[in-house]
Amino acid sequence: MPSSNTITSTDILTASAGLTISSAAWNTHAGIWRGHLLPVDASASAAADNTYDLGSSSYRWRNLYTAGDLSVATVSQTISSTTGAFSFGSQHMVLCNANGGAFSVTLPAAANVTGRTIALKKTDSTFNLITVDGNGSETIDSTTTTYLSTENECLYLISDGTNWQKKHRYIDGKVSTWTPTGTWSTNVAFSGKMWREGKFGNFEVNINVTGGVTTAGLAINMPTGLNIDTTYLYQTTSGQVCVGLGSYIDVGSASYQGVVVYGSTSTVNPVALLANATYAYSAGLSGSVPHTWANTDFLRVTYKVPIIGWES
């Protein structure tokens, strides 16, 4: 592309280095080029309104170079923290690494990049939130902020000239391992798996027992950095919302079933479903409930809860 704002070459059919396009050739052969990428000179500059003349000011491409999906751009840039409006420059994708802690990215003013698509991707495995903030009072799908929360999550945005619109959000639902903790700490070994499903986290916890358990009322802690979003729960009283299921195994003797209930924004509680001669009831797990725990016994629970900061 020439250094001026007008494309003057006449050769549209020969794909050679330095190819440019004239308005006459474009009009004649537009069908050939529809849907194809056009080589451009990255050292050239567009007019002030982001247009290029095609041999005449009557024929123009708008937003070809400095804005829009056809702009010349580098693929990505990695950031780990930023304050204020991040200068995206020619980047179409920004890789965000929050290993060092949560941070915010402020989008460019939408009016300055009308039609442009940008992508932001979280590359680290922590649960440190990356806040994506509209410039000033500008919104992102009618809200002032959105988030990147888990590894490989990628958000695609497009400027409508006034605000930002979401085009797509990719969420990686891969299964990862974690080591849960809870109020049982003696003669037990925790292990777990987890994966994300939009707004919700799915968790599986296994506890192998190696001896007597003396602590009553087992509570399992949420992973560090994750908290249950109670705005999605109809009831937030501890013990009154079922969020999962449990199996409690007395090896060689019996298998008991139960449920997992909401405990707090940071804990869930497995309970056993029991019965006496009169009625069925539930009870928190203890050293003797639903049976006397001993070496080789184990329990497994699964639960699904909405997570603060996760969006679908």
Q: What is the mean pLDDT of the chain?
A: 82
- Mean of the pLDDT values across residues 57-73? 47
Q: Tell which of 139, 155, 170 closes a domain.
A: 170
Which structural domain range is residue 150 located in?
Answer: 76-170
Q: How far apart are the first and last CA of the chain?
A: 42
Per the domain annotation, does 48 fall within a domain? no
Q: What is the pLDDT of residues 170-210, one digit of tens each?
A: 999 999 999 999 999 999 999 999 999 999 999 999 999 99
Conformational region of residue 134, where left means phi above 0, alpha means psi within -120 to 50, and beta covers everything else: beta
pLDDT at 80: 81
| Owner of token pair 């959105």 | 146
Which one has a higher pLDDT value, 88 or 183?
183
Local confidence band at 245 (pLDDT 50, 70, 90 cut-offs): very high
Pair 187, 148 in one domain = no
Asked if the model's pLDDT at residue 12 lies above 50, the reply is: no
Q: Tell which of 124, 139, 170 closes a domain.
A: 170
Pair 181, 290 in one domain = yes
Pair 81, 165 in one domain = yes
Pair 93, 164 in one domain = yes
CB 301 within 8 A of CB 248: no
Asked if the model's pLDDT at residue 216 lies above 60, the reply is: yes
Per the domain annotation, does 9 fall within a domain? no
pLDDT at 75: 61
Conformational region of residue 143, where left means phi above 0, alpha means psi within -120 to 50, and beta covers everything else: beta
- Mean of the pLDDT values across residues 252-277? 95
The span from the CA of 78 to the CA of 75, in Å, is: 10
With CA atoms as reference, report the closest residue to 204 among 298, 309, 312: 298
Q: What is the pLDDT of residues 144-156, one digit of tens each?
A: 999 999 999 999 9
With CA atoms as reference, report the closest residue to 196 among 233, 164, 235, 169: 169
Q: Tell which of 170, 204, 237 closes a domain.
A: 170
pLDDT at 217: 85
Could you write out the three-class secondary structure of 123-147?
CCCCCCCEEEECCCCCCECCECEEE
Pair 128, 239 in one domain = no
3-class secondary structure, 279: coil
pLDDT at 58: 63
With CA atoms as reference, report the closest residue to 80 among 57, 55, 105, 61: 105
Asked if the model's pLDDT at residue 60 lies above 60, the reply is: no
Question: Hey, which bits of 20-173 come out as E strands?
Answer: 51-53, 60-62, 76-79, 93-96, 103-106, 117-122, 130-133, 145-148, 154-159, 164-170
Total number of domains constituting the chain = 2
Is the pTM above the cut of 0.85? no
**Pairing mode of beta strands 280-284, 267-275:** antiparallel
Per the domain annotation, does 47 fall within a domain? no
Pair 164, 195 in one domain = no
Per the domain annotation, does 161 fall within a domain? yes
Per the domain annotation, does 8 fall within a domain? no
Residue 207: CATH number of its domain: 2.60.90
Amino acid at 202: N
Pair 146, 200 in one domain = no
pLDDT at 197: 97
Residue 261 belongs to what H/E stretch? strand 254-264
CB within 8 A of 131, min separation 6: which ones?
Answer: 102, 103, 104, 105, 145, 146, 147
Pair 205, 284 in one domain = yes
